[in-house]
Chains A and B, each alone.
Chain A
Amino acid sequence: GAVVSQHPSWVICKSGTSVKIECRSLDFQATTMFWYRQFPKQSLMLMATSNEGSKATYEQGVEKDKFLINHASLTLSTLTVTSAHPEDSSFYICSARGTSGSSYEQYFGPGTRLTVT
């Protein structure tokens, strides 16, 4: 089946620094990728929708200047958390939709746990 990877799987950074998270579709081309965040024991909250070669669409309340999303190729999307603060600590998960097969199915990456100290 389709595989989506994320890197890093976990990261600890100091407040004020920036962190980049990569989401890759390993065996298929993803025209659209989605970024979610999940706080402990809570549901996944959609942050943004990323289409290859165009600007990401952010959900209401998500700061686009703080969470920079780039989808430069059909297999890679990146999320950069700029000037991270402790409240940004969360589990970030991406998902990808393929260019063929079922138009509904999305494939999730394993997630990246970010801790800001």
Chain B
Amino acid sequence: GQQVMQIPQYQHVQEGEDFTTYCNSSTTLSNIQWYKQRPGGHPVFLIQLVKSGEVKKQKRLTFQFGEAKKNSSLHITATQTTDVGTYFCAGGRQAGTALIFGKGTTLSVSS
């Protein structure tokens, strides 16, 4: 079945350093979404990407969707302690279908 792989599993950075997490699907996706989950909390929607090669920015966060719509990345510039949490990518094969979640990347930031 469809799989969504995400690397790295864990990442520790010093505050101010950049951070990137990568997501790869075994099949072509119709869309990919990114979520952030704080410890003890539930996933919170960050963004969705639909178009091939799409790039979206939210302040210090940059999201990319690959040309083949099989991979995606989330890049955080100049991390802050508030960026701590687990970032999940989630891919959908068709519009409105259930999302297949990657295993997530847990980010820790030391000041």
Per-position contact with A for B81-111: 1 when CB-CB < 8 Å, else 0?
0000000101010011111111110100000
Among A46, A103, A108, contact of B95 (Cβ-Cβ < 8 Å): A103
Is B98's CB under 8 angstroms from A49's CB? Answer: yes
Tally of A-B Cβ pairs under 8 angstroms: 54
Given A43-B102, A43-B103; A104-B92 close (CB under 8 Å): yes
Per-position contact with B for A81-117: 1 when CB-CB < 8 Å, else 0?
0000000000001010100001111111111000000
Among B45, B96, B97, B102, contact of A107 (Cβ-Cβ < 8 Å): B45
Number of interface residues of A (CB under 8 A): 24
Number of interface residues of B (CB under 8 A): 26
Is A104's CB under 8 angstroms from B88's CB? Answer: no
Q: Does A44 contact B (CB under 8 A)?
A: yes
Given A42-B103, A104-B48, A105-B48; A93-B98 close (CB under 8 Å): no
Complex-state Cα separation, A81 to B35, whole angstroms: 26
Is B50's CB under 8 angstroms from A104's CB? Answer: yes
Among A32, A44, A46, A110, contact of B96 (Cβ-Cβ < 8 Å): A32
Q: Does B24 contact A (CB under 8 A)?
A: no
Among A46, A105, A106, A111, contact of B100 (Cβ-Cβ < 8 Å): A46
Closest Cβ neighbor of A112 among chain B residues = B42
Contacts A104-B50, A106-B45 given; 19 further ones with Cβ under 8 A? A32-B96, A42-B103, A43-B104, A44-B43, A44-B90, A44-B101, A45-B101, A49-B98, A97-B96, A102-B48, A104-B92, A104-B95, A104-B96, A106-B99, A108-B42, A108-B43, A108-B45, A110-B41, A110-B42
Interface residues of A (CB under 8 A from B): 32, 34, 36, 41-46, 49, 60, 93, 95, 97, 102-111
